[in-house]
Amino acid sequence: MPTVIVVDVSLSMSRPVIIPETGETYSHQHLAVYGINTLLDYLVAHSKLEFVSLIAFSSLYEIISPFTRDFDNLKLKLEHLEEYDKTCIETALHGVNRLVLGEWGNGTACQVVLITDCNPGVGPMSLKHSLSTLSQRDAANPFPLPFTFPGKLSVLCIASPDDPGLQLSLPLYHKLVEIAGYDSNIVVPEGPLSIKNVQTMFQKFAETNFTSFHGMLKCGNLLSQIILSPSPQPYCKVNDFESIKRTISDTIEVCGFIDVADIGSPMAISRHLVLPHPTAKIEGISTGVKVEIDSEDESTVDEGKIPSFCVLLHGALKVKNMAALCTLAENWFGVVYSWADSKKKSNLMLTVLEPGSNVVPWLGDLNRLGSLEDFHATSHENEPEPSFPVRPLEKRSYSQNCVVWIRQAGLQSDIQKILRHARKLPDKTQQFYKELNRVRRAAISFGFIELLECLAAIFERECTLLPGTAHPDCALQLTHAAGVLHKPYSRDIKYNITPLRTKFINDD
């Protein structure tokens, strides 16, 4: 899960802190840098594939580093952070939205770590003012929370628990994380401010939020310890009458194999890299032999010579162009397959499907899938070979797909299709009127009557733009269609616009 570290560099972060044990003086910003370095050290040891970005903010924000895995470079940039003016949390969160949307889009879950002394700021840029004007916001000036992507906000306070200023500002930050949702939280050091207490706070935060998924990939007697990157998050969905919460099991078991073309690209919750987990004791794949590795000689062991079921499965799926259907928990499935980001490099990936057995419509109930040999053993001679997609048992009451306009591109595509047929008149007369009536009925059903007038205007404009080589019937049919769309009876959903009878159209 990509992570954005947002660090406060306002003037309040430059306040000195005297360490009781040593008498040394540090600023809040120096303590924040110590804590961030602790977090980065944990990621180096446990989540090397994590993408991390760094943003500094005061009244404005600055992207110190875009998303990177070069943690050493991040540490160098932390040492050169400067101090600026007053705090504005809203500006920083707007910057986070722009950064994540530009890099990952709105479908990738990200973790946002806000590091501040919890000073809410003053004046119209303060957190108190931002929260008090929530009801007055419009589309031109939206509040940045909840994030425009699935994001969890964690506020790490560089302040003592007994600081009077922290006690006054905590209710504001609690309201902030409540608006953010996704189990967002606030973390405060245990005890007075010191390097040790701040590092302990960051260490516990890292262990809670950046723990790698360690599990077992199993297929019959073959097994391999694996790491999933990024770590899968618990599934939580609130329905009308119940709340569904599921967690992936530690054992992912392969229950069958299927062609990649048959599995297609189903709707997924998340996708993860499947990596073999290096262990000190490695069990033989199928013989049960244990290979003991001396801890002193671990650095000299060639990992390429150690048998791994994970590598075996990856190679087999890649060569055969198949995917492995796996059980992640009770009645919860996933798909393991080989994915290549370039011609020379490929990876083993896990796609986590939604809980349930009917999550891939063209495969039917996943619990009822079986081997092809079992089908042949129970089938009759004249029974056809099974194939996908599986036809539903219920008989559909419609003969064509319904019109769905979720995005602007879908509506634009339907209109362009009508115009393509129009430019090929009279050869495409039937197709032109079929698509026109299809879009017209959809517009009437949705109450989108303005679309009919717009279509008429488009047809009239097309008539004026027709080249001299265009067929005469093209202008006649477009003018006829535009004229009918202006009539009141064209609003009747049962009415069909029929072609204008000309000498260019055959009677049959």
Banded model confidence at residue 369, pLDDT cuts 50, 70, 90: confident
CA distance 72 to 85: 28
Can you say whether the dihedral through the CA atoms of 339, 340, 341, 346 is positive or negative?
A: positive
Q: HSE-up of 342 (CA within 13 Å, CB side)?
A: 2
Q: Is residue 397 part of a domain?
A: no
Range with lowest mean pLDDT among 22-26, 110-114, 185-189, 300-304: 300-304
Q: What are 427's two structure tokens?
A: 């050869």
Residue 29, domain member (yes or no): yes
Count up the domains in the chain and report the number: 3
Domain end call among 338, 353, 368: 368
Report CA torsion sign: 111, 112, 118, 122. negative
Q: Where are the beta strands (DSSP E) in 299-386?
A: 322-329, 332-340, 346-352
Q: Which of 342, 368, 394 is the last residue of a domain?
A: 368
The answer on 122 and 36 residing in a single domain is: yes
- Supply the CATH number for residue 316's domain: 2.40.290
Sign of CA dihedral 105, 186, 177, 231: positive
pTM: 0.66
Average pLDDT over residues 49-73: 94
- Point out the least confidently predicted range of 221-225, 237-241, 312-316, 436-440: 237-241
In this structure, the answer to whether residues 12 and 145 fall within a common structural domain is: yes
Under the banding of pLDDT at 50, 70 and 90, the label for residue 344 is confident
Contact in structure between 191 and 197 (CB atoms under 8 Å): yes
Q: Computed from CA positions of residues 378, 384, 389, 393, in that sequence, does the dihedral angle turn out positive or negative? A: negative
Residues 243 and 202 in one domain: no
Whether residue 123 sits in one domain with residue 71: yes
Q: Is residue 392 in a domain?
A: no
Judge whether 400 lies within some domain.
no
Give the rounded percent of residues in the chain with a pLDDT score beyond 70.
Answer: 89
In a domain, 496, yes or no: no
**In the Cβ-directed half-sphere of 170, how many Cα atoms lie within 13 Å?**
15
Angle at 187 (CA atoms; ends 183, 188), nearest 5 degrees: 160
Cα–Cα distance between 437 and 206 in angstroms, integer?
59
Distances (CA, A) of 323 to 260, 265, 350, 367: 6, 11, 10, 17
Place of tokens 């899938």: 369
Same domain, 197 and 219: no
Residue 255 and residue 308 in one domain: yes
Query: What is residue 283's predicted lDDT score, i.e. its pLDDT?
Result: 45
DSSP β-bridge partners for residue 224:
217
Average pLDDT taken over every residue of the chain: 86
Q: Are residues 127 and 227 in the same domain?
A: no
What is the Cα–Cα distance from 132 to 463, expressed in whole angstroms? Answer: 55
Residues with Cβ within 8 Å of residue 327, at least 6 apart in sequence: 249, 252, 253, 255, 333, 334
Cα dihedral 346, 352, 358, 361 sign: negative
Condensed to tens digits (0 to 9), the pLDDT of residues 286-302 reads 334 444 444 444 454 55
Q: Are residues 199 and 135 in the same domain?
A: yes
CA-based radius of gyration for the chain: 31
In a domain, 86, yes or no: yes
333: pLDDT confidence band, cut at 50, 70 and 90? very high
Residue 268 domain flag: yes
Q: Is residue 382 part of a domain?
A: no
- Burial of 16 (C-beta count, 10 Å sphere; 0-12/13-18/19+): exposed
The answer to whether residues 154 and 13 belong to one domain is yes
Dihedral sign computed on CA atoms, order 171, 177, 183, 185? negative
Q: Which of 352, 368, 384 is the last residue of a domain?
A: 368
Q: Are residues 142 and 86 in the same domain?
A: yes
Structural domain span for residue 335: 213-294+303-368
CATH number of 108's domain: 3.40.50.410
Element (H, E) at 209: helix 195-209
151-157/185-187 β-pairing: parallel
Helix (H) or strand (E) holding 229, with range, is: strand 222-229
Of 427 and 32, the structure prediction assigns the larger pLDDT to 32
Q: Are residues 127 and 252 in the same domain?
A: no
Question: What pLDDT shows up at residue 401?
Answer: 63
Handedness of CA 26, 31, 34, 38 (dihedral sign): positive
The answer on 151 and 219 residing in a single domain is no
